[in-house]
Structure 1
Amino acid sequence: MATVDGASQLAHPWSLLCALGALATLWWAWRALDRAWLRPRRLGRALRAQGLRGTSYRFPSGDMREFVRLGAAALAVPMPPSSHAVAQRALPFDLAAIKQHGNVCLSWFGPEARVIVNEPKLFREILSNKNGRFGKQKSILSIQILLADGLTSHQGEKWVAHRRIINHAFHLEKLKRMLPAFAACCSELIRRWQDSVGADGVQEIDVWPEFQNLTGDVISRSAFGSSFSEGRRIFELQSEQAQNVVQMSRAMHFPCYRFLPTKLNRRTKANAREVAELLKGIIKKRESAMKDGRAENDDLLGLLLETNTKESQETGSSKPTMTTEDIVGELKLLYFAGSDTTAVLLTWTMVLLSMYPEWQDRAREEVLRVFGKNSPDFEGINHLKVVTMILHEVLRLYPPIMLLGREAYEETELGGITYPPGVTFALPIACIHHDPDVWGEDVGEFKPERFAEGVSKASKDSPALFHFGWGPRVCVGQSFALLEAKMALSMILQQFLFELSPSYTHSPFPVSTLQPQHGAQIKLTKI
């Protein structure tokens, strides 16, 4: 009898543990069922009841299968050489949804509600972010931090403080100090091209990798000055990191994917650690040189450190506003945002000016009238009206960033519909830039003259050019990028005529930016 009682006492704790385990399993099962089945269906009914059109939720992947299918079909064949309809190739799912369901429509990425917004007015309302209703998508931010935990990922007071410091570093007067670095890198490019030209004065060059190297050199030299070689290694790592993050983001609807020990995840984390260590070493050396009075602060790192120190002194804080880790994040972001975006802008500009030689002639005539054969200077660059019109039209037709994403952080009303927290908004820049209702029936044509009176008068619903974003979070480096592009394009026009090579295939390809899938082969003729 005693033995039976003892066994009963031993069994009791195990019974309790089993019961608790069963309850926990039921709770997690209910959570999973609610997230993947019940909640999306409730939300879909609520939004459709308010008049929002779109797709119905399909368990468990939503519209992901159709998204992948349309994307693969769009990229299977190149575009006609004369076509600029990049939205059909880069954002086929979003474009098809807009055509079927309207300019504001509902889609599903897994169980997440994703609202596509293709109206400039609502674009601006979301990007202006009054009262902090909208922010970066939290699921994407967790991955993007591996690339750069900088200004674009910050919110609230931290964003305000960082933006204020970085604005000082990118002020036009400060950018003048970097013009010699721009000119030096562009001169090296021109000399390399001139040396490669044969006896007939003609040479075919794939300008895409050339411009990647150029913008990487410009960032390295203008950011770090004398630490140029170390900066070059960071550029190489960040270029690889950008591709890795894009691959990871495609699988973000799988729970905890980024924590799995896959080869891609391990490589991404190793890159992040190496870049951080390289940057910390450069920062420490620069801070030591500044203390000893041996540093010239004509590069971005020097300007950031200088402004950061002044900001801390003005606020009376004993600690710097931006920590070393903060500065590392901003410099990593600079490499990503400042190199690929300018490289693709220059690449598509060369392609389009090859397609439209009359505009190439007009741009060259303007450059020679302003600079002759002299190196472009800051004042002259600000007077390049034709070149500016061309760059704006290239950015409209071939925006480097195809789409922006935002998330509702609280219940919010937009366009007459109330959305709960957690709904994401897809802002397809390429679709807006190619919308005939916004730009006119000639929307698919290369017409730089539409920007003759500036960006504000170029479209019907203005402004509708969102290549650098819009609102308080507009890209802080846009003046840097345009100054660099104008410098490089002017120096190329001074020295070369160019046309498309017969080997060129017109295949814009959305990676981290809109890149030429098979390169951009250009025939250069030395002037």
Structure 2
Amino acid sequence: MDATIASSAVIAVIALFILHYTIKLANKFWVRPKKVEKRLRELGFMGNPYRFFYGDAKEMEEMRLKVISEPMEHSDDISSRVLPYHHHLAQKYGKQFFIWIGTKPRLTIMDPVLVKDILSRPNEFQKPRKDHMAQALIGGLFTSEGNIWAEHKKIINPTFHMDKIKNMIPAIVKSSLELMEKWNMSLASKESVEVDIWPDIEALTYDIVCKNILAVGETSEETKKIYQLRAKFNQQASKVARLMFFPGWWNLPTKDLNTLKAVHKEVKALVTKVVTKRLEQMKKGAKNEGDMLSLMLEAHQDETNKFSLDDVIDECRSFHFAGTESTARSLIWVLYVLSKYPEWQARAREEVLQVFGDQNPNVEGLNQLKIVTMILYEVMRLYPPTSMIHRAISKDTKLGDMVLPAWVQMTIPITLMNHDPDIWGEDVKQFKPERFGEGVFNSKMQAVFMAFAGGPRKCIGQSLAMVLDTFVIATLLQRFSFEVSPSYLHAPKHAFLLTPQFGMKLVLRKLV
């Protein structure tokens, strides 16, 4: 009798346990998504009905694979290729729609007023939590939040003051000249040479950032190895990106994901060597030159700061990746566009020669390169290095005249907005640098230009990126003309940053 009662009690407990988790799973994978969907539709957002577990994942992946299966025509109208599913839903539902990323809805926000409001309130609209891919790819200041982000920014920010950046200009030009010499050797006695500039430009920006921002030097074996691992890491990240729609995807025991984690671990170990080596030098009396790594290590050694060695390593790793790659992407697309529009290439070269003559570009000419600056801004409008920005809220939050429900995320599709005639005018698809004739920050463009995001969390390296791009382009224009190679395949691709899928092949001709 007692055994029967005990057995019944065990069965009852197991049944309650199963019921509890059945209800919990039903809520997560069905009840809550449907409730949120109903509320979003009441707010005026449109989108596909929620589908169990996958959401829009299958359609998104099918459309992505379709657009990258072949190149596109030589057009600057790239939004339907770079963000194909977002473009498709915008055509289907209008500009206020949602996409299901697994069980979570992401609202697409394209109204510049609402976007500005979102970016100006970083404590309410934060980056999505538990974004393992962002942590692995970038980390550091780019993914931290709240007081941690504020404290880290305060420590790092002096590195990017304009007086510091101006002092980097000779080094930027020197590194650029070293690349030009490599191209000269390829030309030799030939009139022209085809070059895939993508790997060269990435190596150039990596060299500049390592020497001037992190000050780790050109002889560091660790930084050379980190550079080699970056390509492998990015390839693995692209392979596992399709898993990101599955809840708990970071813990799936797949070969590609395990390889990604292994490479990430190897990169972190190498960065740790770089950091600890500099720390030992500083403890022995090495001078702080004001570079980012020295500033961070100085803060780490100050007991009044809560800046751990792991923090230093994470920030250092993030700039080895994001700090170099985003700048490289913008330069690659600037060179492509100048190759495509030779009249603007000629105008930019004429300006560079008027300012510098046959002398190396220098800091005195920084504010005189108006045409070059206009071109840079217009290229970053048409080919923004970052195609979209994600934010999330943890509670019901007012935005405009709406109250958005907790548990939703937001996407700001920069590429779609930059190609929207309602924002930029009917000539939006045309390359027109003159639209930035008054600059960005002193014109109406300030409210809609988001190449560096916006609000308190705008890109900390914005000024450096503009100066670096300006002086690499100026140095190149003095010495080479360039055009799009007949073998180039135009295929802008969203792969965390805007990537030329089949490389960037240009034909170079030496001028001097």
TM superposition score normalised by structure 1: 0.91
List per-residue Cα deviations over 1:441-488 (Å, max 9, x = no partner). Answer: 11001111100011256657x521111110000010111212211121
2:294 aligns to what? 302
List per-residue Cα deviations over 1:236-293 (Å, max 9, x = no partner). Answer: 3234334433443431221222112322222222222222222222222212222322
How many angstroms does 1:119 deviate by?
Answer: 1.1
Is residue 138 of structure 1 aligned with residue 129 of structure 2?
A: yes
What amino acid sits opposite 2:455 in the alignment?
Answer: G
- Residues 89-488 of structure 1 mapped to structure 2, 5 A cutoff: 89-129=81-121, 132-139=123-130, 141-222=131-212, 223-226=214-217, 228-295=220-287, 297=289, 299-306=291-298, 312=302, 318-456=303-441, 462-488=446-472
What amino acid sits opposite 1:288 in the alignment?
Answer: E
Is residue 72 of structure 1 aligned with residue 96 of structure 2?
A: no
User: In the aligned structure 1, how far is the partner of 2:440 from the partner of 2:265?
Assistant: 41
CA contact (8 A) 1:168 1:307 kept: no
What amino acid sits opposite 2:375 in the alignment?
Answer: I
Question: What is the number of equivalent residue pairs in this alignment?
Answer: 509
Moved more, 442-451 or 250-259: 250-259
Q: Secondary structure of 1:413's match?
A: strand
* Pair 1:15–1:184, CA change in 2 (3 A): farther
Q: Percent of aligned positions with the same letter in both sequences?
A: 36
2:499 aligns to what? 515
User: In the aligned structure 1, how far is the partner of 2:180 from the partner of 2:457?
Assistant: 35
What amino acid sits opposite 2:431 in the alignment?
Answer: F
User: In the aligned structure 2, how far is the partner of 1:458 from the partner of 1:499?
Assistant: 32
User: In the aligned structure 2, how far is the partner of 1:497 from the partner of 1:359?
Assistant: 12
CA contact (8 A) 2:352 2:369 kept: yes
What amino acid sits opposite 1:63 in the alignment?
Answer: D
What amino acid sits opposite 1:364 in the alignment?
Answer: R
* Pair 1:219–1:17, CA change in 2 (3 A): farther
CA contact (8 A) 1:207 1:347 kept: yes
User: In the aligned structure 2, how far is the partner of 1:342 from the partner of 1:107?
Assistant: 30
Q: Secondary structure of 2:243's match?
A: coil
Q: Secondary structure of 1:58's match?
A: coil
User: In the aligned structure 1, how far is the partner of 2:44 from the partner of 2:30?
Assistant: 22
Q: Secondary structure of 1:444's match?
A: coil
What amino acid sits opposite 1:359 in the alignment?
Answer: W
In structure 1, list runs of 5 or more residues that go unmatched.
313-317
User: In the aligned structure 2, how far is the partner of 1:298 from the partner of 1:49?
Assistant: 53
CA contact (8 A) 2:222 2:273 kept: no
CA contact (8 A) 2:386 2:451 kept: yes
User: In the aligned structure 2, how far is the partner of 1:454 from the partner of 1:484?
Assistant: 17
User: In the aligned structure 2, how far is the partner of 1:271 from the partner of 1:242?
Assistant: 10
* Pair 1:298–1:376, CA change in 2 (3 A): farther
Candidates 8, 26, 39, aligned match of 1:46: 39
User: In the aligned structure 1, how far is the partner of 2:240 from the partner of 2:336?
Assistant: 31
User: In the aligned structure 2, how far is the partner of 1:89 from the partner of 1:249?
Assistant: 18
TM superposition score normalised by structure 2: 0.94
Q: Secondary structure of 1:472's match?
A: helix
Q: Secondary structure of 1:510's match?
A: strand
Q: Secondary structure of 1:486's match?
A: helix
What amino acid sits opposite 1:469 in the alignment?
Answer: A
How many angstroms does 1:193 deviate by?
Answer: 0.3
User: In the aligned structure 2, how far is the partner of 1:337 from the partner of 1:433?
Assistant: 22
CA contact (8 A) 2:44 2:96 kept: no
CA contact (8 A) 1:342 1:481 kept: yes
How many angstroms does 1:519 deviate by?
Answer: 1.1
Q: Secondary structure of 2:156's match?
A: helix
CA contact (8 A) 2:299 2:305 kept: no
Is residue 25 of structure 1 aligned with residue 18 of structure 2?
A: yes
User: In the aligned structure 1, how far is the partner of 2:382 from the partner of 2:243?
Assistant: 29
List per-residue Cα deviations over 1:190-227 (Å, max 9, x = no partner). Answer: 10001110423311101111111111222222223335
How many angstroms does 1:434 deviate by?
Answer: 0.4
RMSD, matched Cα? 2.0
User: In the aligned structure 2, how far is the partner of 1:277 from the partner of 1:66?
Assistant: 38
CA contact (8 A) 1:224 1:231 kept: no
* Pair 1:230–1:180, CA change in 2 (3 A): farther
What amino acid sits opposite 2:51 in the alignment?
Answer: R
Q: Secondary structure of 2:447's match?
A: coil
User: In the aligned structure 1, how far is the partner of 2:451 from the partner of 2:6?
Assistant: 63
CA contact (8 A) 2:300 2:308 kept: no
How many angstroms does 1:13 deviate by?
Answer: 4.4
User: In the aligned structure 1, how far is the partner of 2:373 from the partner of 2:265?
Assistant: 39
CA contact (8 A) 2:61 2:242 kept: no
CA contact (8 A) 1:175 1:480 kept: yes
* Pair 1:50–1:256, CA change in 2 (3 A): closer
